[in-house]
Structure 1
């Protein structure tokens, strides 16, 4: 299971890196074409806008998994060891709820967008916003993993102290 989760993490991070590199390449090509060849790419702005949606909603769970989002350290510092553990679980639960709401709302939104196409790239608009749903589901997966690890660590500590 741990191996599968590591693979999923690497795939998502690779997609984010690849997407970011593609956005830089397309932006650079657009600037080059506009200023040196005096012709503009008709689709580059749309690609970068839609790429930004995917990039943001896939990077949010990556930062969450790595513990890089801002925390409430002032409150946490007043808590004891047990309080910090339960506070972390509470925060992870909030991430789960947020991911659930985003996933549910996006699922409904994607149904409406399935009949629309983008102007420049002619992509189905539900593909464009699928990154929001994938990011929300990945966020839920990370929240479940963190909560499970938290309770597993707590159980291991309690069994070691009893034995």
Structure 2
């Protein structure tokens, strides 16, 4: 079960890494198009809005990449002073609180999407639910990574290399 959870976490991270790469490339292209169109023509009305939505998507998916790599900002001063069982218990409490927060975040972000279905973006004319779906996707990826990390701490030595 632990190996399966780690493999799923690694697969999700592999997919999201490539997706974020494509989103950032698209963001660069759209912003470059906006700059060129402002200089030589009249600006396209949709580029600013699309770049904003690409940034939202890359932010929430990129947050899961950072979480997987343990790159998020953390206040670890007190935890670093602990040793042995106290440190392990502290990490478990932090992980449990993280999983609980992510579960609540997933629930409410899905609810928010249902409220945004009929709201349409002004320039692109797409449903805002297409933009907001990045929230539960990012939170779900972080949730999977958090469960995998908890399993790694509970059963050390059974890690699957990414």
Which residue number in structure 2 is paired with residue 57 of structure 1?
Answer: 60
Larger-gyration structure (1/2): 1
Name the SS for the 2:90 alignment partner.
helix
Aligned residues: 154
CA contact (8 A) 1:99 1:140 kept: yes
Counterpart of 2:137?
134
Q: 1:87, 1:41 → 2: CA distance?
A: 52
Alignment partner, residue 22 of structure 1: 26
- Provide the residue aligned with 1:13 in structure 2: 17
Match of 1:72 in 2: 75
Deviations 1:96-115 (A, max 9, x none): 12211211111111111111
CA offset at residue 66 of structure 1? 0.6
Looking at both structures, which has the greater relative contact order when contacts are Cα pairs under 8 Å and sequence separation is at least 6?
A: 2
Q: Tell me what 1:159 maps to.
A: none
Distance 2:34 2:139 in 1: 31
CA distance in 1 between partners of 2:86 and 2:149 (Å): 17
- Residue pair 2:61, 2:138 contacting (<8 A) in 1 also: yes
Matched with 1:106 is 109
Residue aligning to 2:92? 89
Give structure 1 stretches of 5+ with no counterpart: 157-163
1:63/1:69 contact within 8 Å kept:
yes
CA-atom RMSD, angstroms? 1.7
With normalisation by structure 2, the TM-score equals 0.87
- Work out whether residues 117 and 125 of structure 1, in 8 Å CA contact, stay in contact via their aligned partners in 2: yes
Q: Structure 1 segments of 4 or more deviating over 6 A?
A: none
List runs of 5+ in structure 2 lacking aligned partners.
none
Structure 1 residue 149 and structure 2 residue 152: aligned? Answer: yes
Distance 1:51 1:88 in 2: 34
